[in-house]
Amino acid sequence: MSEEPDDEPTEDATDGSSEGTDGELVENTVAAQLDSQDATPAEDVLAAGLSPLLSLGSQAAGALGLPEPTVLADDVLSRPPEDRFRSSASRYADRFDVPLLAADGLSDAGDDLPVDDPFVTAVETVVRNAGRWQGQLLAQLVYEPDDPDPYLALAVLLERLERAAVGAKAAHETGSDTEHLLSTGLAVLARLVSLVETDATVDDDTYRDAVLASYHVEVATGGEPRFDPAERTDPECRRIVRLQGALLAFDTFDRPADEVAALTGVGPEAILAAIGRRDTADSSP
C-alpha cells in the first residue's frame, strides 16, 4: 500500500534560511534591477511625453492656419530673453490675430472650437502633462545617472510651466492681465519643443531659461525675486537650477535631505537651508 503524502511537505535541506527573508529577497532583487538598468537620457524622457502632443499641435496648427510648433518655437527663441518671457504672447496674438489676452476674445474664439472652454482645457492639459513628466524625469535619478543636472533642469522648467499655466488661468478668471504668465509659458514651451525637435541636449541656454522662468513666474505672480538672472553667469545659473531641482526632488520623493542629496549631487545642508528660506517666505504676510 502506498504511503499518503504528509499534510505539510518536508522542507528541502538545501532550501535553508541562509538566503534571507522574503523582504530581503525582494530588496535584493530590486537593488539588482537598479544596478543593471541605466538611466534614460533626460531629453529622451521629455521626447517620449512631448512628441505625441506635438503631433496633435501640428494638426491643430494646420487647421487654424498657424505655423508648425517647431517654426513657432524657433521664432520665440530668436527673441531677446526679456521680450521672450514678458511679452511674446502679445507679439504672436497680434501677428496671428489670436485673441489670447482678452477674456472676451477667448470666449468668442471658443465658440468656434469643439471644446467648451479652450483656455481652461489648455491649462488643464499643460498642468496634467507637466506634472507627469516632472515625475518621470525625477524618477530617473534613482538609476544614478552620471550627471543629474539635465533631469533637474527639465523638471524645473516643467514645474515653472505648470505654475505659469495655473497663474494665467487664475488671472483669466478674474479679468487680470495674463500677458506676462502666458509669455513665460510660451518661452518655456519653445525651449522644450526645440530640445525635442532638434535632438539637442540640455545646455547653458536651457539652464538659463530655467532660471529666467523661475524669475518671471515669481514677478508675474507678485513675488519679489532675490536676484536678477541677467546678473548671473552660466555656471551660476546651473548651480541655481541644481538646487531648485533638488527642492523639487525633496518634495516629490518625500525623503530625508541626505537621501535627496545623494540623488541630486546637492549637499544636504544646502537643501535644508533652501527649505528654510522657502518656508520663511511662505509664512511671511
The answer, yes or no, to whether residue 24 has pLDDT greater than 90, is no
Number of domains the chain is built from: 1
Determine, yes or no, domain membership for 239: no
Determine, yes or no, domain membership for 284: no
Please report the sign of the dihedral spanned by the C-alpha atoms of residue 222, residue 226, residue 228, residue 232: negative
Res 112: pLDDT: 52
| Contact by Cβ (8 Å): 217, 160 | yes
| Contact by Cβ (8 Å): 178, 101 | yes
Mean pLDDT calculated for residue range 265-285:
86
Determine, yes or no, domain membership for 118: yes
Determine, yes or no, domain membership for 108: yes
Determine, yes or no, domain membership for 84: yes
Determine, yes or no, domain membership for 199: yes
User: How far is the C-alpha of 136 from the C-alpha of 46, rounded, in Å?
Assistant: 9
pLDDT band for 26, please (50, 70, 90 cuts). very low
Domain that holds residue 143: 40-230
Question: SS3 of 200, please?
Answer: coil
| Contact by Cβ (8 Å): 274, 247 | yes
Determine, yes or no, domain membership for 252: no
pTM of the model: 0.80
pLDDT band for 65, please (50, 70, 90 cuts). low
Determine, yes or no, domain membership for 177: yes
Contacts of 89 by beta carbon, 8 Å cutoff, 6+ apart: 100, 101, 178, 179, 182, 183, 186
Res 53: pLDDT: 79
User: How far is the C-alpha of 137 from the C-alpha of 45, rounded, in Å?
Assistant: 6
User: How far is the C-alpha of 75 from the C-alpha of 246, rounded, in Å?
Assistant: 32
Mean pLDDT calculated for residue range 215-237:
94
pLDDT band for 60, please (50, 70, 90 cuts). low
Question: SS3 of 2, please?
Answer: coil
